[in-house]
Amino acid sequence: MKNKVIVTGGCGYIGSHTVVSLIEEGYEVVVFDDLSNSKEFILNKIEEITGKAPVFEKVNLAKESVCKEIFQKHNDAKAVIHFAAYKAVGESVQKPLMYYKNNLFSLINILNAQVENKIENIIFSSSATVYGEPDLLPITESNEVKQPFSPYGNTKKVAEEILLDLTKSEHNFSAISLRYFNPIGAHSSGLIGELPSGIPNNLLPYITQCAIGILEQLKVFGDDYDTKDGTAIRDYIHVVDLAKAHVAALNRLLKKEQETSYEVFNLGTGKGYTVLEIIREFEKVANMKLNYKIVERREGDVPELYAATKLAEEKLGWKALLGLNEMIRSSWQWEQQLRASVKEGY
C-alpha cells in the first residue's frame, strides 16, 4: 500500500512543487491549506501535471479543535510535511503577534495531533534566516544559530527548538528541519510557481513583475557591500530541486535511516550570486533591459549567504541539479503564463 503523507500549505509555492514530486514518487498526498496565501486552482494544475489530484482539506491549523479533528480523519498518514506559515518578513515586524500566533500555534497543534494519532514523522520548512549574519562561509549546519532579525525568522528558530525538545521527550518521534536558502524558479510546465500576494518582497518575483509591466522599477538594495560588484550575495535554489529534497528527507524518515531523531539540513546549491548577476542573467534570458536603480541597503539584509551542501549530499543523497539559467528561465515562463491565464480568468 502507498504511504500517505499530509502536506500542510500544499497549495503554496514550495508546497505545491513538493506535492508534485511526492505524487510522482508514488506517495498518496493529502493537502491541508487554509488558502490564506494561496489559490485552490493550484490543485487542478497539480492534477494536470501528475494526472492525480491530491485530497484537499481547507483548514486553519492554528485552531486547535479544527486541527485535532482533521488529523483524526487522516490518522493513517505516515508523516507530515509542514509548510503552512506566514512568511513576509516586513509584515512580521509590524504584526509580531499575528506571526507568532499563526506559525507557532499551528505547529504546536499539529505536533499534538501527531502524537495523539501516532504519526511520528515531520519535515519542517525552516530557513537560512536562522543563521543571521554568519561568521563563517559557506554555512554549515553546525554554524551558530543566531537571534533572527525579524519575528518571522524567530518563528523558524523557535519552531526548530520545539521540534528538538519534542523528539527528546517522545522517543518514537522523528523530525527533520530543512533550512532553505533562496528558492526561485517554477515547474517546467509553467503551470505552478510563486504567487505573491500584493507587492512581492523577494527579488525574483519583483524582477518578473517589473519585466511584465506590473511594477515600474526594481530597487537594488545597496551596492556598497564587500562583494565583487557591491551588491549582496545569495544562494538561489530551483524550487523543483528543493521539492525533491523533501522527498529524499521523507524517505530517510520512513526508512528510519536517521542518526539522531532530530536532524537539520541546508538546502542550497553552494553557489552565491550577486543581485546584479541575477539582473544580468534575467536580461539575457528575457532578452530585454530591466528598469532598476540602486538604493540604500534594506534593513536586516546580510551581505553574503551561501550553503555548505555536503551534509545533504551525504545523508539525503540529494544535490541541487538545476542551474541559474534554468531557475530564471522557468520563473519568467511562469510569470508570462500566469498573466496570460489571469486575462482568461484562470
**Position 232 contacts ligand UD1 (CB under 6 A):** yes
Contacts to ligand UD1 from residues 112-131, by CB under 6 A: 127, 129
Sign for the pseudo-dihedral over CA of 225, 229, 232, 235: negative
- Shortest Cβ 332–ligand UD1 spacing (Å): 16
From 45-53, 94-102, 217-225, 249-257, span contacting ligand UD1 (CB under 6 A): 217-225
- Shortest Cβ 321–ligand UD1 spacing (Å): 21
**Position 151 contacts ligand UD1 (CB under 6 A):** no
Looking at 42, 84, 203, 307, which residue binds ligand UD1 (CB under 6 A)?
A: 203
Q: Which is nearer to ligand UD1, 54 or 134 (CB)?
A: 134
Distances from the Cα of 193 to the Cαs of 71, 79, 136, 327, in angstroms? 28, 24, 32, 11
- Shortest Cβ 136–ligand UD1 spacing (Å): 18
303 within 8 A of 252, measured Cβ to Cβ = no
Residue of 99, 152, 273, 306 with catalytic role:
152
Sequence-separated contacts (24+) of 342-345 with Cβ below 8 Å: none
148 within 8 A of 156, measured Cβ to Cβ = yes
**Position 300 contacts ligand UD1 (CB under 6 A):** yes
Q: Where are the alpha helices (DSSP H) in the chain?
A: 13-24, 41-50, 64-73, 89-94, 96-100, 106-117, 151-169, 203-212, 239-254, 275-286, 310-311, 324-343
From 69-77, 109-117, 198-206, 325-333, span contacting ligand UD1 (CB under 6 A): 198-206
- Shortest Cβ 96–ligand UD1 spacing (Å): 14
| Angle in degrees, CA 178, 180, 184, rounded to 5 | 140
**Position 74 contacts ligand UD1 (CB under 6 A):** no
Q: Is 152 a catalytic residue?
A: yes
| Angle in degrees, CA 54, 55, 61, rounded to 5 | 115
Binding site for ligand UD1 (CB under 6 A): 87, 89, 127, 129, 153, 182, 201-203, 206, 218-221, 232, 234, 275, 298, 300-301
Residues marked active site are found at 152
